Chain A
Amino acid sequence: MSDSHPTKTPTIAPAESSPSRKPSLKETAWEKNTLEPALAKSPERQATFTTISAHPIRRLYTPADLPGWDPATDLGQPGEPPYTRGIHATMHRGRLWTMRQFAGFGAAEDTNQRFRYLLAQGQSGLSTAFDLPTLMGYDSDHPLAEGEVGKCGVAISSLADMEVLFDQIPLANVTTSMTINSPAAVIWAMYLAVAEKQGADWKKISGTLQNDILKEYIAQKEYIYPPEPSMRLVIDTFEFGVKNTPKFNTISISGYHIREAGSTAIQELAFTLRDGMEYVEWGLRRGLEIDEFAPQLSFFFNAHSDFFEEIAKYRAARRIWHKAMTERYGSKSARSYALRFHTQTAGCSLTAQQPYNNVVRTALQALAAVLGGTQSLHTNSLDEAWALPTEFAATIALRTQQIVAHETGVINTVDPLGGSYFVETLTNEVERGAWDYIKRIDALGGMVAAIERGFPQREIAEASYRYQRELDNKEKLMVGVNAFVSDEKPLDILHIDETVANRQAARLKKLRAERSSEEVARRLSALRTATKGKENLMPFIYDAVKAYTTLGEICDAMRDTFGTYEEVAIT
């Protein structure tokens, strides 16, 4: 049974009525001679057309939408400011984006197997999902970890687990992204310890640490400590990264989670870039030189369902970052002001109903990310709304990227959509909308202040509620959910049971028995002392990690000094 397409009264004025728009004589003639008769014969299916972010879209874009637009300055060339067309001269002709599938479940050996499988199937980089206890700085045998071990990602409680995770994976040759935030410094220290053990040169290894605590307060909510000590930890990692791991991205400033929480595309862009500026300002206050640490800042965006809105968003992102970095912070290096980003297709757009439709959604979203010039991409699996990916589903997700890369031809030319009246106009509009928000956050005193006032959280809550109403009212359709519904059989999904927790508990018992308790105590004490001062904590965390102090023990030591944080809930 299919649903008829709804027509609704407009809540947003049609964009055609914009007063500053001056159509040419030819266009005005078209409106009179061709458009009006066509509309009289057959009205459009909706009163207004909007993106999933409620951004109004016009019937037709023409030069009238780009008054004063100068391709030389506004579009530019790929690999040159303002980077509208991409950050490299040859983009994907020169090098494909990194196919970097987010993976992690169970214990380290389970994820190690999936890592090696995905590499064998042609992915070009690793990306690690950790379980909730790990994300929250708890060992697998902590009381609060009950029921959660290995369920949302891999359980990592110590260096011993990390060693198993990267067994037979040479960190000198493989780049790894780690989605970890509050305990990022600890997990990174473990990764570096594994690299050292393997004989990989810290100066050459590459990868990314998510390490973006601001978006935790805004959206993902996996914070441990309050903002001030959390930012201290982040800047400590920046400082450490500058000195020791110049090729490692010490942060992945993220919009993905902000979007998943229900923000609009403009909010995703604005809050992410303003977070980026906040990190830059804190780094500068620490005494770092802008072009010293900024090259190691990277970004992470969502690839949601509205195809052109996403492409416009990525193009606007590069322009905004270049402008902010040069005008606000005086950056002189392209390594600092050329925005590099990873993309993940939108998990929140995938449905539990008719899950095979998700393959299609993911493919289209991946295409948008590629056309938008991403440097790295994760494509979600069809079973996203049910469980962590089965091997079968994860393989299709990877193949999706390979098909886009090798069969569609979209990578044959750089920025194929450049010069489109629509795409350039939308890029301008998204950029303007983002700058509005950025300035509002500036006026509030910066991002930490804005978070403390609940500003981004409230904007996101409003946007997510509006979208839910649109779905409930069928103003926005979701195939298989509120339209084209059908009966279906359940899917075969991945199950993770409690044996992971048992395995981890046994391992931790063994670890605590075999390591030197004196060394652990000594190094934890040194760390504790350091937390009370201003020294960079990374060396202390690294020392603790090497003695097989557990994640929970290190995070607890920091809890003792920093305290913990809980938000005032805004509904």
Chain B
Amino acid sequence: MTKKIRVLIAKPGLDGHDRGAKVIARALRDAGMEVIYTGLRQTPEMIASAAVQEDVDVIGLSILSGAHNTICPQLMKLLREKGMDDVTVLVGGIIPEADIPALKQAGISQIFLPGTSTQDIVNFIHQKIGLPN
């Protein structure tokens, strides 16, 4: 039996715009991954806990609110504290280009901007995690 890639899609912060998160969740499911969607209004603590509980390979954060510079470092710190050092964290949403280097420094593997195709995200995950065998 193949082991599916496990992905947590999360909406951190107060923002309720979930179109992107839901589309990505479904696309990843269609691509054969196991996807857990956290729903709205998640704190970094809630996301880190869910990631541990669900034993995910990937966390996808959807952030359109401009709060990414606060949320991402907080989440990365919590993940390290919980021993989830090898989880791949991805961010999608409205992220100014100038903020990308710092986010990557903080441990975010990749940032996906508006207009990204779902296939590009699937490919990135497969490349990073390795295709399930």
Contacts and interface: CB of A to CB of B under 8 A. Distances in A.
Interface of A: 132-133, 135-136, 138, 144-148, 151-152, 216, 220-223, 260-262, 348, 351-353, 385-387, 461, 464-465, 468, 471-472, 478, 480-482, 490, 493, 495-496, 566-567, 569-571
Ranked nearest first, the 7 interchain pairs of A and B with the lowest CB-CB distance are A147-B70, A221-B16, A151-B66, A147-B67, A481-B115, A132-B14, A569-B39
A468 B16 contact: no
Given A386-B94, A464-B19, A571-B22, A148 B115 contact: no
Nearest to B117: A472
A216 B113 CA distance: 25
A147 B13 contact: yes
B71 A147 contact: yes
Contacts of A480: 115
B25 interface: yes
B21 to A, nearest CB: 8
Given A148-B65, A566-B41, A571-B26, A136 B118 contact: no
B49 interface: no
Interface in B9-63: 13-19, 22-23, 25-27, 29, 35, 37-41, 43
22 contacts: A132-B14, A132-B15, A133-B14, A152-B15, A152-B65, A152-B66, A220-B17, A260-B17, A260-B19, A352-B115, A385-B94, A387-B94, A464-B23, A465-B22, A468-B23, A482-B117, A490-B97, A566-B39, A567-B39, A567-B40, A569-B40, A571-B22
Contacts of B65: 132, 148, 151-152
Nearest to A480: B115
A87 B91 CA distance: 46
A138 B119 CA distance: 38
Contacts of B71: 147
B39 A135 contact: no
A546 B38 CA distance: 39
Contacts, number: 108
Interface in B91-122: 94, 96-98, 113-115, 117-119
A146 B19 CA distance: 23
Contacts of A138: 14
B104 to A, nearest CB: 16
A263 B7 CA distance: 26
B67 A461 contact: no
B27 A468 contact: yes
Given A135-B14, A468-B27, A490-B98, A221 B113 contact: no
A58 B90 CA distance: 43
A386 B95 CA distance: 7
Contacts of B13: 132, 147-148
B19 A262 contact: yes
A138 B41 CA distance: 13
Nearest to A216: B16
Given A148-B67, A567-B39, A351 B96 contact: no
Contact of B70 (A133, A146, A221, A468): A146
Nearest to B38: A569
A388 B73 CA distance: 23
Nearest to A460: B19
Contacts of B39: 566-567, 569
A169 B129 CA distance: 57
Contacts of A216: 16
Given A465-B23, A468-B27, 16 more contacts: A144-B14, A147-B67, A148-B65, A220-B16, A260-B17, A261-B19, A385-B94, A385-B113, A385-B114, A386-B96, A478-B115, A482-B117, A493-B96, A495-B96, A567-B39, A569-B40
A385 B113 CA distance: 9
A148 B66 contact: yes
B56 to A, nearest CB: 16
A181 B17 CA distance: 15
